[in-house]
Amino acid sequence: MTIRYMMLAGVALVSTAAVAQLQPPRVAKKPFQVTSPNGAREDDYYWLRDDTRKNPEMLAYLAAENAYADAKLASLKPLEAKLYEDTVAHVKQDDSSVPYAKNGYYYGSRFQTGADYPILERRKGSRTAPAETLFDQPAMAKGHSFFALSDWAVSPDNRRVAWAEDTVGRRQYVLKVKDLTTGALLADTVSNIEPNVVWADDNKTILYVEKDPVTLRGYRVKAHVLGTPIAADQVLYEEKDDTYQMGISRTSDDRFVCIGVESTVSDEQRCAPAASPTRFTIAAPRAREFRYGADHIGNRWIIRTNRAAKNYKLVTVADADLAKGTAAWRDLTPASDTVFIEGFKPFDGFVAIDQREGGNRMIRVLNDAGKSTPVTADEPAYRMALDVNEKTATPWVRYTYGSLVTPTTTYEVNAQTGERRVLKVAPVPGYDPAKYVTERVWAPARDGTRVPVSLVYAKGVKRDGTAPLFQYAYGSYGISSDPAVDPGRIGLLDRGVVYAIAHIRGGQEMGRGWYDDGHLLNKKNSFTDFIDVTRYLVAQKYAAKTRVAAMGGSAGGLLMGGVANMAPADYKLIIAQVPFVDVVTTMLDASIPLTTFEYDEWGNPAQKASYDYMLSYSPYDNVAAKVYPALYVGTGLWDSQVQYYEPTKWVAKLREMKTDTNPLLFRVNMEAGHGGKSGRFERYRQNAEWQAFMLQQLGLAQ
């Protein structure tokens, strides 16, 4: 059977009758007991886990699933190609970014026509000076099926650049260094690091975060001196608690290097002068349910914290008092029940604050005299966010604005005069915002909570209960889903699809309480919110009950798995990308990346209450003999965030248990990780496949 399905790979001309007769792959069941302090569970598909990714039987099954998907989707190839063409037609291929100034240079990026990756460059002294290439990413990516250049940093003397690079997709980055005066690549190379690099002021010391080779948790900050053996790198800090992860950064005024460690509910930050980053001062010791993050400007620290402020506030402390901890902190902003402070950027004389209110993300400016000025917007559902602001000695704050209708626009606002100027409107060729409508509606959840929903659809789409609906959500980790124009969505809107973002609990669109009500022992609120939004939109005639597609990825894939089990009749199709679906088994295994760090997100199954609750919603454990909607499931063999075997086992169990004949397609990317293959056009191609399948299921495949 395996050989038969492998032979089907790449089939383009398969008759409708042949496809109808095609039987989905099945895989062997091998009894295995997953033990825990709170009971044992049988897992017949546990054997599909292979950390080496070399098991021939497992790989043959994945190949069979890909071949089956190829055959089932063969008739949709023309539509897939058209969707890809539609998307690319809305992409300005030779686009460039708005340059920003730092340390005597203007930095920016630009795409060449047809290129998957941008070229990063800088210009000395002015925006019109000759360009110097920092990274020719199209050239760097050649020969790699996956390529990601993540964090990079130029040395204070502007002579060298260090960066983190991944050519596998497993997020095990490699530190590399280049001499910008000669273009030569230095011999200094460090493997298995976080995408996080910082220079010290001596222009020869690079700080990086080393990862545990098994769990992939960043746990140790090291200092590498150029030209010395990697084995001699000094350990500056090691985090012993495996429920924490870490990162390093320089403060906005470049005077300090800071190490930040965080868990879901706790932070701790230690900082040292960038001139000699060896002796670090702790801003405040960690404590459960105590979170904070500090930045520096002038002679003081500004800190965002949830201390006595569930939705966070800003406090300040003088340099001389930092070591005194919270006793020396003084409020800059009051606590609020309705305004959630997401972030901030300090400038000379004022602070720019990134905040949320009423489900929208917005900006306000707070000057040193205490005057607060909001930046206004004209649409009901939108997103503002602080952009790159490297200069602190300026009254101009750069930020971005966008909505489901308005393309991302980069602005500057003057904190002293209020003057606002447009720096760039992201070009979207062939797109006319006037042809579309965006709305913000509030759907009642079953417990009475009002859930914000962002909607967009083409003008002329009738609100008569006949339209197809494509509903998306994430709803975990306090990550909010903000509206934006997507070139890949325009073709769907033009075909009459109504698109909705359900801002369900588990995100932070409505503040920290919104997150608290959607994780741990409240996680099911995320699932029921999503279902209740669907039912509300159908009841309000935005969509037909039989024409609803749902999508989520990663933790949003968990959402999709939960929804598929809880309300399968409400959806025609569910798309689950890299879904986290085997919650209990994964959280019982501390060797799997992310597990220990996420006990405060999902719960620790070693505890009886958490074990029982997680087991009650874990998608894999709750697959049952019943009718499921059509399903499209995606994964990457090298995924480090959600291991490939979770969706693989889920699909195998669904094939065994479900009683319907609705299609279940499983697309396995054999050369990528959590985000799929790299490169902008490659991702558009991947998206076109599930979009074509979705349109077919919604009756729009013509």
Q: Which residues participate in catalysis according to the annotation?
A: 554, 639, 674
Of 569, 521, 554, the C-alpha closest to 676 is 554
Which residues, including other chains, have CB under 8 Å from residue 134's CB and lie 6 or more apart? 107, 120, 121, 122, 152, 154, 161, 180
Of 206, 256, 213, 258, the C-alpha closest to 233 is 206
- What residues pair up with 351 in beta bridges, in sequence order? 346, 366
How many CA within 13 A on the CB side of residue 430? 14
Alpha carbon distance 385, 197 (integer Å): 24
Instruction: Provide the b/e sequence for 625-637 (b: ≥16 CB within 10 Å).
Output: eeebbbbbbbbbb
From edge to edge, which strands make up the β-sheet containing 245-250?
245-250, 256-262, 267-273, 281-284
Query: Can you tell me whether residue 396 is helix, strand or coil?
Result: strand
397 to 138, 417, 633: CA distances (angstroms): 32, 12, 42
CB 365 within 8 A of CB 350: yes
CB 406 within 8 A of CB 433: yes
Please count the other Cβ atoms lying within 10 Å of the Cβ belonging to residue 384.
24
299, containing H or E segment: none
Alpha carbon distance 86, 95 (integer Å): 18
Which residues, including other chains, have CB under 8 Å from residue 261's CB and lie 6 or more apart? 239, 244, 245, 246, 267, 268, 269, 286
CB 379 within 8 A of CB 362: no
Side chain identity at residue 113, one-letter code: T
Which residues, including other chains, have CB under 8 Å from residue 509's CB and lie 6 or more apart? 356, 359, 452, 480, 481, 503
Nearest 5°: CA angle at 114, between 110 and 117? 45
Please count the other Cβ atoms lying within 10 Å of the Cβ belonging to residue 310.
16
Name the DSSP class of 62.
Answer: H
237 to 221, 427, 643: CA distances (angstroms): 5, 45, 29
CB 10 within 8 A of CB 24: no
Of 339, 367, 369, the C-alpha closest to 354 is 339
Which residues, including other chains, have CB under 8 Å from residue 411's CB and lie 6 or more apart? 398, 399, 400, 401, 420, 421, 422, 423
How many angstroms from the chain centroid is the CA of residue 434? 30
* Token digits of residue 459: 């003008």
CB 691 within 8 A of CB 94: no
